[in-house]
Structure 1
Amino acid sequence: MPSPTALTQPSRRRPGVALLVGLFAGLLSGIVKFGWEVPFPPRTPERNATNPPQALLEMLGMSPESTHATYSYLGNDLPYVSFILHFAFSLSFAALYCVAAEYWPAIKAWQGAVFGVAVYAAFHVVLMPALGVVPAPWDQPLGEHASEFFGHIVWMWSIEIVRRDLRNRITGRPDAEAE
């Protein structure tokens, strides 16, 4: 692993490819995170009645009727507004990660797991509790932390797997830091 402060040579970077790959990886990893949450739900049913994306949008002035809007698929009412935020978050962070990896290889530590833990801590331990979107970390069930902590690792790992494979296939070259 390169030094935590090492940057790649500009001639080896492919930020446009990285952005494209990041968007695709964000879409796939958003589905992976959904899949993770089936056996390991991140919230109790009571706390999920208004989930964090809905609560945040309501804090920003969106009506509860809008944030809880659903579409029906096979008789299941699904919260499409929450899904839009879920995928926007995944696409944004995957694109950021993939582009950053072109410049700063250390971001890929433990195949993206370190970055996943950082995103978990930033949002679920610091930002959302500070904004009042979710309770303070010590007032959240341990199972919520476990689901989100490990879910963010799996989510980022799936981004790294897609990033590494597609970047190398599209460019025909190894990662920017490789000799």
Structure 2
Amino acid sequence: MINLFELSNKKDRHLWTMIYVGIIAGIFSALVKSGFETLIPPRTPETMPPPMVLLEKLGFNVSTMDYHWLGTTINWGGNGVHILFSIAIAIIYCVVCEYLVKAKMLHGVIFGVGVSVFAHGLVVPLLGLSGWLWLAGPEALISEFIGTAFWIWSIEAIRSDLRYRLVRHN
């Protein structure tokens, strides 16, 4: 039987390093997720993304947060929330990996799918930012879960590489 809660050796944990790595991994992985969602969108063009709905619920006017790049309108507010969420989850993931040996299973994909189900299947709908995940249709589910797999895999790739480079002297 697999012990999912097997702990690492206390002397092998590098928490501050993992917080630093989580910030870097979060920024890069947000770009991976955004790129994936450009190719395989999780919602129709008419549907406002949950980060922008959140900003509006907090009293921000998201229409004033646009900038234009090569004829494309981009909302820095919604993207900023998306990047901050990615950084927060990457830090949590990196720190959890320092404690729980099995958190990295399947290059973190199991952890990432759990985050996606929790965030988009529970928190986002309960906050009224979007509908229930299971009602979104197959295209949205495919986008969400495959995009999440690439997102968390990129976090794990950066985490494992930077961890090795930064702590190998110990």
Question: TM-score interval w.r.t. the shorter chain?
Answer: over 0.9
Spell out, residue by residue over 1:120-147, the C-alpha distance to the aligned partner (whole angstroms, 9 max, x if none). Answer: 1011111111222111234312211110
Normalised by the length of structure 2, the TM-score is 0.92
Equivalence map 1:104-143=2 (5 Å): 104-143=100-139
Residue identity opposite 1:59 in structure 2 = K
Give aligned pairs, total.
170
Supply the distance in 1 between the matched residues of 2:31 and 2:62 (Cα, whole angstroms): 25
Cα displacement (A) at 1:75 = 2.4
Alignment of 1:79 onto 2:63: no
In structure 1, runs of 5+ residues without a counterpart are 175-179
Supply the distance in 2 between the matched residues of 1:38 and 1:114 (Cα, whole angstroms): 23
Residue identity opposite 2:96 in structure 1 = A
In structure 2, runs of 5+ residues without a counterpart are none
Equivalence map 1:142-153=2 (5 Å): 142-153=138-149
Supply the distance in 1 between the matched residues of 2:43 and 2:31 (Cα, whole angstroms): 18
1:2 and 1:105 in contact (8 A); partners too: no
2:121 and 2:134 in contact (8 A); partners too: no
Cα displacement (A) at 1:2 = 6.5
Supply the distance in 1 between the matched residues of 2:135 and 2:6 (Cα, whole angstroms): 39
Residue identity opposite 2:46 in structure 1 = E
Supply the distance in 1 between the matched residues of 2:61 and 2:66 (Cα, whole angstroms): 14
Q: Which residue of 2 aligns with 1:53?
A: 51
4+ aligned runs moved over 4 Å, structure 1 = none
Q: Which residue of 2 aligns with 1:177?
A: none
Identity over aligned pairs, percent: 36
Q: Which residue of 1 aligns with 2:22?
A: 22
Deviates more, 1:34-43 or 1:132-141: 132-141
Give SS of 2:129's match. Answer: coil
Give SS of 2:39's match. Answer: coil
Residue identity opposite 1:158 in structure 2 = S
Normalised by the length of structure 1, the TM-score is 0.88
Give SS of 1:78's match. Answer: strand
